[in-house]
Every structure is written in C-alpha cells, then in structure tokens.
Chains A and B, each alone.
Chain A
Amino acid sequence: MGQFLQQVLNSISIGSIYALIALGYTMVYGIIRLINFAHASVYMLGAYIGYFAMTYFGLGFFPAILIAMVLCTIIGVLIEKIAYKPLRNATRIAVLITAIGVSMLIEYGMMFFVKANVRSYPPMTGFLTKTFTLGSMTITTQQILILVVTIVLMVILQFVVRTTRIGKAMRAVSQDRDAAELMGIDVNSTISFTFAIGSALAGAAGVLVGVYYNSINPLMGMLPGLKAFVAAVFGGIGLIPGAVLGGYFIGAVEVFVAGYGNSMYRDAVVFAILILVLIIKPAGLLGKSTREKV
C-alpha cells in the first residue's frame, strides 16, 4: 500500500510536467489546428534559460522560473509571427512540416551553441532540499513545488480563459475563426496570445524539470513533447481540462508500467494508447466527435 501511494506521488510529479506541456499543445491546436512541434523545443529552452539564470546570475528558483516564462513567451510569439503566420492559409501539412522544421532549428541550433553534453542545475539550497517522511512514503519539497506551481498556473489559466476579454476571444476563434473575425475580434493577436500563454507554461515546465531531475540537454524536449501531445490527444485535443486530465493519466501510465511491469515498455505503452485513442475515439476522452462536412 505504501509502495502504491509512493507511486501515485511519483506519477503526480511527472504528470504535472506533462499537463503543463500538453496545455500549450492543446490550446494551439484548438485555435489554429496545428500540432506545434516547436512547443517541445520551447520547453527545452525554458530549462536552459532557468539553468543560465541560476548558474551564471545566481538567481533563486522563483526569479529563474519567472524569467524563463517571460523569455519563452517572447520566443513563442516570435515563432508564430515568423514561421506560422505567413502560412495562415497554407495546407495543414505544410504548416506541420514547418513546425517540425522550427523545432529542429531550435534544438540543433541550441546544440550548436551549448553542445550536446548533459548539464546539471546548480545544487539546490534551502527549502528545496528538504525531504519529509510519511509512514513509508517520502516526499521531497521539489515534488510539492512542482504540484503547487502547476496548480497555481492552471488556476491563473482558467481565470484568463474564462473571464477576461482575450480569453473569450480565444474561445471564439477556436470555435469559428471566420465568424470571430466578423464579430470584430483581432484574430492575429488572439493567436499570438495563445502562443504566448502556451509557451510560458512550457517554460515553467522546463525549469521545474531542470530542478527536479537535475539533467538537461538540447534534445530533452523530444520525448516529453511527444508524450505531452499524446496526453492532449487522450484528453481531447483543443480542450483545456482534457490536457490536464491527459497529462496526469499519461504520467500515471508511465509510472505504473515501470513500477509494476517492465520499465522498458513504458514508452511503447504510451504510444500504443495514442494509436488506440486515435482509432477508437479520435476526439479524445472529453471530446465530442464531429462528422466531416462534405
């Protein structure tokens, strides 16, 4: 039982990270129907920004994560303006290929500048090193931190999307871009705003991963990015609650396959889930299926 609870705890930490990344995928897909492969690279950049902020500027955790979020926001908007905006009316495949290109550009460009070697965050100090024991369970402050940061960011996100003007605009554009435009909504700035929010969340996830696992490299985004995308698809792509649900679900699947099965098949199970969901219920767990209009 203790072991089971400990595994649940493990899956919450990793699930939070997936949920944060999946939110960016799902919002962008909801608004422009694009699998933004570059999103995983923004997550990687977030981890490196946090690394540089902590190592070379000696900043603490909170300033570092804020800087990473701000810079990632700018990067996300720039990616949208430079690479995706010229393709607003191109085929979806063309935009998808562009997204793959942008992602490769960032990852290998980064590799060129910082080399492929793994880097580690500076040793944590103060409250970030504490460990609590609860019966047979151990909880670190880092795990608590991940959960708290994730919840705070999600509450803010929910507030923005539900109550603010721009949030309403986002929802309107994702439902029907043309109609939204006719209603006087600035579609371009709404799309930029969506990229901004998604990228900020990815940046935060990057720093959290850096602190928690203490190991970052230029290609670190590839696999978590794909898995977060699987999470978004699982929950129902385009749906914010779906991404959160999917993130925690994929986190749990991973941990429990490793903890009770064979850790070597962890990733295969995740991808098998993806294919099954796509075939059986492509709209995802929380999505409604739509019929294609002729």
Chain B
Amino acid sequence: MKKLLSVFLVLVLMAAALVGCSKAPSQPAASGADAEEIKIGINYELSGGVAAYGQANLEGIELAVEQINAAGGVDGKMIKLVTYDNKSDHAEATTLANRMMTQDGVLAAIGPATSGAFKATIPVAEKNEVPVVSGSATADDVTVDDKGLKEYAFRICFNDSYQGTAMADFAMNTLGAKNAVIIMDSSSDYGKGLAKNFKEQFERNGGKVVAEESYVEKDTEFNAILTKIKGEDFDVIFIPGYYEEAGLIIKQARAQGIDTPILGADGFDSPDLLELAGADALNDVYFSNHYSSLDQDPVVLKFIEDFKAKYGKDPNAFHALGYDAMKFVADAVGRAANLDGPSVKDALASTENFVGVTGSFSIDENHNPVKSIVVIGLKDGVQDSITRSGE
C-alpha cells in the first residue's frame, strides 16, 4: 500500500511539475507611478574586495541626487535612493537586484560597479523589466553578447576592447614599446577581456607579447612569476586587473628591480593603489581612465568644485562615473513617457548628446556610449600627465 502510494505521489508531482513549469507571471513591481518620489535602486560594492569602486560610485550618485532634488527633482518628484551593499559578491548582487525590484519596487537600478557582478544582475532586470545602469562595467559583452542585445542593461563607460586597444596604441606610439609582458587577473571577465584586446592590437601594430602570466584575486605572492618574466626581453608590462593585486605586483616588480613602464586600465584608479604599492614604486605607471581631475573642461571644473565642497577631497573617475550615471538615469526618467520600466528603458536607449563629467556621449544601438578616453601617467604616485584619445 505504501509503495503504491509513493508511486502515485511521484506521478502527481511529476504532472504538477510539468504543468507548473510556466510559473504564474510575477506581479509587476509597484514602481510607484503615482508616488511622490522616484525610487532608484543602488546595488554597489560598499564592502569587500572592490569596495573602493562601489563607495566612490555611491558618493558621486549622492552628490547628483542632492543637486537634482535641490533643483526641484524630476518633474517635481524627488529621487529617493534604495541603497544596498552587495559585498563585492556576485550571488549577493543577484539577490539584492531581486529584492529591490520585487520588494522595494524601484523604477531603475544603478550598479554594480564590476562587469561580472553587473552581468549577474541583468537576467533579474530582464525578468522584472527594470532597467539597470552601470557606471563602470567595462567588459565587452555586458550589454550585448552572442545571444543578442540585453534590452534592460545600459552603461555609460567605454568597453574593454576600446580600453585595451587604446593602451596597446599608447604603449606602441607614445612609449615606443616593441615587446610586452601581460600579467592578467584571470579571475575576472575584466582582466581577460582587456588582456585579449591589448594583445590583439599590440600584435596588429607589429609588437610582440613575449610572456603572459595570470593570477587570481586575493593573491599576494607574485615574486615567482616576476622572476620568471625577468628573464625575458621586454620594454613594457601590461597588468589588466584591479588595484588590490596590481598594487602588490607593482611593488614587488619594482623591488625586484624591474623598472620598465607599467600599464593598466581603469581598475588602477583607487587611492588604495598608492597605499599598496608605495609612492616610490608608482613611477612610469600609466592607465586608461574615464576622466582625470587634471582636465580643464568647465563641466569637469564645476564638478570638482561641488564635490570638494561636499566631501572635502578630490573626486576620482568612479566618483565621476557614479555622478554621471545618476544624472543619466534622471535625464531619461524626465523624458520617459510613463514612469514604468519599459518607458524608462526606451528613454535611456534614445539618449543623445548627454553632457557628462566623463565626456559627452550618445547611446548607440548596443546600449553603449560613444565617448573618449584619457591615459593618466603617475609620478611618485600622483597624477602627473594626461593624454586624450578617441572621441
């Protein structure tokens, strides 16, 4: 009898599973169309490995919100941030995206800062029809991949192939390098994408990548691979990775007497780089970036002034990107036909000639901005020179 019953139960469950496969459509999140305020979700790395990016983005965003609300909000509605900390953890970022979209009913979400975490939240955004915007997710396949365009994902920064290509050109044309070594963070899409594009462009320009080494996040010991590459003949090192490990690589490389120029990308932009590597090691170090405080553009000067007034320090690129991302979203919300996800998405997609601190841009058909790049040179750990390219 018991056996019969269990067979029966399994059958019922199987049937139920098959029927229930198409789950009841989740209720549209209450986006607060009639509410007095516009809720924007903030899903950033406020602690953990890449906290410096998330915290900087958030400071920029808060400055932008303050200015927007002081100027009367968007169509008379105040912007309210729903802020969560994803602890630099991808799974946590997904959970939080789910939470802000289904429980808090945000109209749009900003963040996370890194490509991997941002990508992890996109399926949630598509499912709930809430646009997500990242200020700094630079991997190539963030907004579009081989499965097609991700309708609800946007970004306001250039991508890694642009960055990798620009750095390869910089190495060749400005530094006159012929042989390069790549030490890549293979635990991120970011590092892998940059390395690939740098290598392709460098070789297309007639240069040679003589050695490729990799490491994973949280590594601290790089002496072995540095000793290994020391035997090679090269005139530049490219480190596609984040400041946490790049700082240590630079320190250990300089201690081993490797004094060739070291190149990186926007992942270098953090005050922690200076702390970790030490000022002495940060000479002849160049990295591509979205913005530099050395820029003399009036928009940039105004931003730096406002930022200093509020926080008492110089803004870095992530502050600027956060600030731009918030203004970009607010601009689209202001132009949207209705206050719901699909309308805001359409408005974001049709943005043209948006004037931001990190440059003016329009959104192309792949939801990427078309904008320029700067290469910053460090001297004793301080920004010393900028070279602009693209546009």
> What is the CA–CA distance of A82 and B206 in the complex, to the nearest angstrom?
66
Name the B residues within 8 Å of A7 (CB-CB).
224, 227-228
Name A114-140 residues within 8 Å CB distance of B.
Answer: 115-120, 123, 129, 131, 133, 138, 140
Name the A residues within 8 Å of B276 (CB-CB).
118, 120, 214-215
The answer, among A11, A14, A258, for a CB contact under 8 Å with B228, is A258
Name the A residues within 8 Å of B231 (CB-CB).
3
The answer, among B88, B223, B248, for a CB contact under 8 Å with A13, is B223
Minimal beta-carbon separation of A267 from chain B (angstroms): 9
B230 touches A258 (CB 8 A): no
> What is the CA–CA distance of A264 and B214 in the complex, to the nearest angstrom?
7
**15 further A-B pairs in the complex, CB-CB below 8 A; given A13-B223, A213-B221, A264-B186:** A3-B228, A6-B227, A7-B224, A14-B221, A118-B49, A120-B272, A120-B276, A123-B278, A123-B279, A214-B276, A219-B218, A223-B218, A259-B225, A259-B227, A264-B216
Minimal beta-carbon separation of A199 from chain B (angstroms): 22
A116 touches B48 (CB 8 A): yes
A214 touches B251 (CB 8 A): yes
B220 touches A213 (CB 8 A): yes
Question: Nearest chain-B residue to A131 (Cβ)?
Answer: B255
Minimal beta-carbon separation of B351 from chain A (angstroms): 34
> What is the CA–CA distance of A215 and B220 in the complex, to the nearest angstrom?
7
A residues adjacent to B (C-beta < 8 A): 3, 6-7, 10-11, 13-14, 115-120, 123, 129, 131, 133, 138, 140, 209, 213-215, 217, 219-220, 223, 254-256, 258-260, 263-264
Name the A residues within 8 Å of B244 (CB-CB).
118, 215
Name the A residues within 8 Å of B275 (CB-CB).
119-120
> What is the CA–CA distance of A133 and B247 in the complex, to the nearest angstrom?
23
Interface membership of B213, Cβ < 8 A? yes
Name the B residues within 8 Å of A133 (CB-CB).
257
> What is the CA–CA distance of A10 and B230 in the complex, to the nearest angstrom?
13
* 8 shortest interchain CB distances as A-B pairs: A258-B224, A10-B223, A259-B224, A120-B275, A255-B224, A213-B220, A6-B227, A259-B228
Interface membership of B215, Cβ < 8 A? yes
Name the A residues within 8 Å of B51 (CB-CB).
115-117
Q: Which of A10, A260, A264 has the most CB of B within 10 A?
A: A10
Q: Which of A209, A213, A254, A264 has the most CB of B within 10 A?
A: A213
Name the A residues within 8 Å of B221 (CB-CB).
14, 213, 254, 258
Question: Nearest chain-B residue to A2 (Cβ)?
Answer: B231
Minimal beta-carbon separation of B48 from chain A (angstroms): 5
Name the B residues within 8 Å of A14 (CB-CB).
221, 223
> What is the CA–CA distance of A256 and B224 in the complex, to the nearest angstrom?
7
A263 touches B214 (CB 8 A): yes
Interface membership of B192, Cβ < 8 A? no
Name B213-263 residues within 8 Å CB distance of A.
Answer: 213-216, 218, 220-221, 223-225, 227-228, 230-231, 244, 247-248, 251, 255-257
B215 touches A263 (CB 8 A): yes
Minimal beta-carbon separation of B184 from chain A (angstroms): 10
A10 touches B272 (CB 8 A): no
Could you pull out 29 A-B pairs where Cβ atoms are within 8 angstroms? A14-B221, A14-B223, A116-B47, A116-B49, A117-B272, A118-B49, A118-B272, A120-B272, A123-B278, A131-B255, A131-B257, A138-B257, A209-B220, A215-B220, A215-B247, A217-B218, A220-B220, A223-B218, A254-B221, A254-B224, A256-B224, A258-B221, A258-B224, A258-B228, A259-B224, A259-B227, A260-B228, A263-B214, A264-B216
Q: Which of B220, B225, B278, B279 has the most CB of A within 10 A?
A: B220
Interface membership of B87, Cβ < 8 A? yes
Question: Nearest chain-A residue to B228 (Cβ)?
Answer: A259
B228 touches A140 (CB 8 A): no
Once A117-B51, A214-B248 are accepted as A-B contacts, the answer to whether A263 and B224 lie under 8 Å apart by CB is yes
Name the A residues within 8 Å of B224 (CB-CB).
7, 10-11, 254-256, 258-259, 263
> What is the CA–CA distance of A129 and B254 in the complex, to the nearest angstrom?
12
> What is the CA–CA distance of A78 and B280 in the complex, to the nearest angstrom?
42
Question: Nearest chain-A residue to B255 (Cβ)?
Answer: A140
Name the A residues within 8 Å of B225 (CB-CB).
258-259, 263
Minimal beta-carbon separation of B278 from chain A (angstroms): 5
> What is the CA–CA distance of A6 and B225 in the complex, to the nearest angstrom?
11
Name the B residues within 8 Å of A223 (CB-CB).
218
